[in-house]
Structure 1
Amino acid sequence: MRHPDAADLRHGFAPRLLLVPAVLGLALLIVPLTALVGRVDWSTLWADITSPEALSALGLSVLTGAIATCVCIVLGVPLALLIARAEHRLAAVLRAVVIVPLVLPPMVGGVALLFLLGRNGWLGRLLADVGVTLPFTTAAVVIAQTFVALPFLVLALEGSLRGAGTGYEHAAAALGAGRWRILWRVTLPLVAPGLLAGIVLCFARAIGEFGATALFAGNAPGVTQTMPLAIYTAFNGAGIGQSTAVALSLLLLGTAIAVLLLVRAWRPAAEVAA
């Protein structure tokens, strides 16, 4: 009988043979991204990113992503509070509903938005009667981004709220603080790291949205063509050149890495607050 050594105590007792598929899985994630970086023409990178077409797609992505993130904050903070403070069964149901856009194919989300807000949709007909048309407009981009990004903020904040508990809120209420004062001075400061992480993840998901945007908002340059749509169009032989598409892809990759680093930087603070 072999006694565990220091390495066993540190790394556990998983079979060493599992290292092979683990390394293959890691390679599957890293090698394609390495291939993307290898296709970048560094000599023309700045010119590609600052071309008029690229700047149009980049500017639209940042603008609509920022607006969608603000909408997610307005809607998501109350929703996260509702789930975190709800009875266990109700919270489980609400959490499942919030998760649906995460597992739903984005194209299906776009179809759902069209059936709701299109000219023949339930709500779209009412909006058309007052002269409001949403599909294939910049507003449609924001709606599609909000639909897919909202769960990221809600789930991140809801977890922080459950971890923080209600003890400090009860103490503040016992001292005479009102509900709004407790929210702004106690609850939100306690979960600030989780809220910030959710906002960053929400923004990153919004600017990377493709499927729902393509179906619900279309692909009109300067109006609804965000960076993912511009990249897709370029590799189908239209719009911006492929070198610009590769440069924009690298920019989105860099954004994703920056988001991961920011969320990781806030995680220790979130654990302390919890």
Structure 2
Amino acid sequence: MTAVPTIKLNDGYEIPQFGFGVWQVPADIAEEVVSKALEVGYRHIDTAAVYGNEEGVGAAIAKSGIPREELFVTTKLWVGDFKDGNTKQALRTSLQKLGLEYVDLYLIHWPSPNDEKYLEAWKALEELQSEGLTRSIGVSNFLPEHLDKVAEIGSVTPAVNQVEIHPALQQRDIQAANEKYGIATQAWSPLAQGQVFDEEPVKAAAEAHGVSPAQVVIRWHLQQGRILFPKSVTPERIASNFDVFGFELTDEELAAIDGLERDGRLGKHPAEFFPAG
């Protein structure tokens, strides 16, 4: 079994640096897809209440027979729940669907900052952590100004900030703010949905190492210290994405990929996204 490196979070827990994401994985195939990922060797699974597939993730975990302490499971609090004051019940519902007594990491999915209710949600996450329903707590899609406000009112610093990061959108200001607070940076959409695979620095590195463009981009993240969890529903790609520990990019290759930075945002801008319940 390939040993995935871990990152020590600011609360003392360790998180596998490389995991498996299930965004847009249909509920009816989630169990099958996650079972394949666990079979390949993934031990870090990232889901969310709004994905609608927590039951499938939980079924795959139960069927795997893998000891709970060997797994790292993340889920996320949806905006509608914290706007309605249902943060605590939302996690209990997620735990029931996952079939777990606790999650390893619970994140506020989006700040939806127009009324700053994410700050009330953060205090509720602190209480959930003290109750043992989640080991670590963190945020997702938080900009530096949101992190500053959490730092002002919170007694616990977020362990993780999960944001869109890939070669075409590197969010260096957010990464710097995370580093300032000792928050681990976690990349969602880390492969830019394949939109950087034809870029010359990625293609050249892939050819030089005899690997795929996806594997190159994964190594780029890993070697720069970010946590990431690419998603696929294709068994072959699930396996090949995991096969990234037999080569290293050179400093020159890393720098060339860094040079692809532009405003290549694929998701919503956190300051402008106010999802309904």
- Structure 1 and Structure 2 fold alike (TM over 0.5): no
Higher helix share: 1
Larger Rg: 1
Q: Which has the higher contact order (CA 8 A, sep 6+)?
A: 1
TM-score (norm 1): 0.23
**Normalized per residue, which structure has more strand?**
2
